């Protein structure tokens, strides 16, 4: 029976193939027709505009880099997006002038010389570099005028609230006065004459902005670009204000002094810190002001950085700050040398405080974190510092 099984399978397979062949030969020819399927009507397509030139010649690109109107018009006919065409020309103009700029500023190869021992730049070369910078700006502005379309990605969010034409005009004013300040700057130290000229330029620059912008636009400009704004960004890095809160604080500070002079703003914020914090508390409330003061603490900032490095829980800095308050009060007695305790008693206090710090902080920071924190925290560094043995009095 086992010998018959392969033979029976072979016969069955042959019969199956024969039956399939018979079905195929008896099927109607229409079933295998190669005629194409019925055509499906295509939707109407609007006629495309006639294409412009396929590309520019090398001579035309050279003329475009010099802002020749005919070459700029040919570039527009290529059909490139305005942003892309503008960016290509800006890059081409900067690249062509970069080599000339480098030639006017030879690289110092005497690496062993201090910066103070190197000769001052050649005044004539400095003037030529500034002339090239002004030439570059003039070419870039001609390109901007040839492509006045709205920019999809403004260069700076500080001016994004303005329409495109005014945004560029403001940028041009700032660039022009930056050039004037460079021209009037003496080599080496800033002289009193430099300061007086810069003050006059600042007044003229402000007058030009006032003439260019509407009162609403000028206020928007000041809220984003004034010296007061610059310092507030730095001082308020530990607290997040809403726009409404920021404007309210800006107005409170503006009422107490000028906002457009760096020296006056520094004096306003640094010499009257209590008034600044009173204004900030009035805006953000007592609870957030308490959090702001904690965020100014050096140990809190240290714990923040350490928590990020060691991937500790988000509440770690606050726990460290709370644990350190009593310890810091007692630790200051050691660092200031106050009190009538003998050296031996002070050493006992130091040991006790160090043990207390370890007991409080190791569960929060871990052993590694406690070592790193102790190495940088002023109070803990003082506690862990080894002191020379006290000399015994002679008999």
Decide if 23 is inside a domain.
Answer: no
More confident call, 329 vs 255: 255
- Residues 291 and 311 both lie in one domain: no
Of 296, 319, 353, the residue at which a domain comes to its end is: 296
Decide if 2 is inside a domain.
Answer: no
Of 212, 235, 259, the residue at which a domain comes to its end is: 212
Model pLDDT, residue 4? 46
- Residues 171 and 196 both lie in one domain: yes
Q: What is the pLDDT of residues 258-274, one digit of tens each?
A: 667 777 787 777 777 88
136 near 128, Cβ under 8 Å?
Answer: no
Task: Output the average pLDDT for the chain.
Answer: 77
Whether this model's pTM surpasses 0.75: no
Which tokens sit at 79?
């059909």
Decide if 370 is inside a domain.
Answer: yes
pLDDT higher than 60, residue 384: yes
- Residues 163 and 146 both lie in one domain: no
Nearest-angstrom CA–CA distance, 383 and 357: 9
The label of the residue with tokens 């070419």 reads 139
Q: What is the pLDDT of residues 99-138, one digit of tens each?
A: 787 777 767 777 777 665 666 667 777 788 888 888 888 8
Decide if 21 is inside a domain.
Answer: no
288 near 240, Cβ under 8 Å?
Answer: no
Q: pLDDT band for 32, please (50, 70, 90 cuts).
A: very low
Least confident of 86-90, 102-106, 173-177, 284-288: 102-106
DSSP 46: P
- Residues 233 and 167 both lie in one domain: no
pLDDT higher than 80, residue 52: no
The stretch 196-221 carries a mean pLDDT of 92
State percent of the chain over pLDDT 70: 73
Model pLDDT, residue 28? 52
Model pLDDT, residue 346? 76
Decide if 238 is inside a domain.
Answer: yes
- Residues 343 and 302 both lie in one domain: yes
DSSP string, 138-168: HHHHHHHHH--SPPSS-S-GGGTTS-HHHHH
DSSP 31: G
Least confident of 191-205, 229-243, 257-271: 257-271
More confident call, 122 vs 235: 235
**What domain range includes position 369?**
298-384
- Residues 62 and 149 both lie in one domain: yes
Q: pLDDT band for 254, please (50, 70, 90 cuts).
A: confident
Q: pLDDT band for 85, please (50, 70, 90 cuts).
A: confident
Nearest CA-CA partner of 370 in 315, 323, 338: 323
Specify the 3-state DSSP secondary structure of 15: helix
Q: CA of 190: how far to CAs of 186, 263, 385, in Å?
A: 6, 15, 44
Nearest-angstrom CA–CA distance, 241 and 249: 10
The stretch 70-78 carries a mean pLDDT of 80
Model pLDDT, residue 246? 94
- Residues 235 and 204 both lie in one domain: no
The stretch 241-270 carries a mean pLDDT of 84
Nearest-angstrom CA–CA distance, 357 and 322: 12
pLDDT higher than 90, residue 25: no
C-alpha of 379 from chain center: 34
Specify the 3-state DSSP secondary structure of 110: coil
- Residues 283 and 313 both lie in one domain: no
- Residues 315 and 305 both lie in one domain: yes
The stretch 369-382 carries a mean pLDDT of 84
Q: pLDDT band for 208, please (50, 70, 90 cuts).
A: very high
Model pLDDT, residue 365? 93
Nearest-angstrom CA–CA distance, 46 and 82: 24
Positive or negative torsion for Cα 345, 346, 351, 353: positive
241 near 249, Cβ under 8 Å?
Answer: yes
Angle (CA) 334-340-346 rounded to 5° is: 40
Nearest-angstrom CA–CA distance, 309 and 369: 10
Nearest-angstrom CA–CA distance, 352 and 338: 17
Decide if 136 is inside a domain.
Answer: yes
- Residues 314 and 243 both lie in one domain: no
- Residues 140 and 195 both lie in one domain: no
More confident call, 285 vs 150: 285
**Domains identified in the chain, total number:** 4
- Residues 186 and 203 both lie in one domain: yes
Which tokens sit at 341?
């305790």
The stretch 230-241 carries a mean pLDDT of 86
Nearest-angstrom CA–CA distance, 205 and 230: 18
Decide if 340 is inside a domain.
Answer: yes
Q: What is the pLDDT of residues 308-339, one digit of tens each?
A: 999 999 999 999 999 888 777 776 666 555 55
Which tokens sit at 196?
């007086």
Decide if 236 is inside a domain.
Answer: yes
């Amino acid at each position: 029976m086992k010998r018959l099984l392969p033979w029976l399978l072979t016969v069955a397979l042959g019969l199956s193939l024969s039956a399939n062949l018979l079905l195929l030969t008896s099927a109607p020819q229409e079933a295998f027709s190669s005629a194409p399927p019925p055509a499906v009507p295509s939707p109407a397509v609007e006629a495309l505009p006639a294409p412009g030139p396929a590309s520019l010649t090398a001579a035309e690109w050279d003329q475009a880099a010099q802002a020749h109107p005919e070459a700029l018009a040919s570039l527009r006919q290529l059909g490139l997006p305005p942003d892309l065409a503008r960016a290509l020309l800006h890059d081409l103009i900067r690249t062509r002038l970069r080599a000339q700029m480098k030639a006017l500023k030879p690289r110092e190869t005497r690496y062993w010389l201090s910066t103070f021992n190197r000769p001052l730049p050649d005044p004539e070369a400095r003037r030529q570099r500034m002339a090239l910078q002004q030439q570059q700006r003039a070419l870039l502005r001609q390109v901007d005028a040839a492509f006045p379309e709205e920019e999809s990605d403004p260069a700076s969010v500080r001016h994004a609230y303005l329409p495109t034409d005014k945004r560029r005009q403001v940028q041009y004013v700032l660039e022009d006065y930056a050039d004037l300040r460079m021209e009037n700057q003496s080599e080496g130290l800033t002289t009193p004459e430099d300061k007086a000229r810069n003050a006059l330029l600042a007044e003229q620059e402000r007058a030009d902005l006032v003439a260019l912008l509407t009162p609403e636009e000028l206020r928007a400009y000041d809220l984003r670009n004034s010296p007061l704004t610059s310092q507030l960004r730095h001082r308020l890095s530990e607290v997040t204000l809403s726009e409404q809160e920021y404007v309210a604080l800006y107005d409170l500070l503006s009422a107490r002094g000028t906002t457009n002079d760096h020296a006056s703003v520094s004096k306003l914020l640094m010499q009257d810190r209590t008034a600044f914090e009173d204004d900030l508390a009035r805006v953000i409330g007592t609870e957030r002001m308490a959090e702001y003061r904690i965020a100014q603490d050096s140990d809190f900032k240290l714990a923040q950085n350490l928590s990020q490095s060691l991937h500790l829980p988000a509440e770690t800095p606050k726990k460290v700050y709370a644990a350190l308050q009593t310890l810091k009060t007692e630790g200051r007695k050691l660092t200031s040398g106050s009190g009538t305790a003998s050296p031996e008693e002070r050493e006992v206090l130091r040991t006790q405080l160090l043990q207390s710090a370890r007991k409080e902080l190791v569960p929060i920071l871990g052993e590694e974190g406690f070592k790193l924190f102790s190495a940088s925290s002023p109070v803990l560094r003082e506690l862990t510092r080894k002191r020379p043995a006290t000399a015994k009095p002679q008999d």
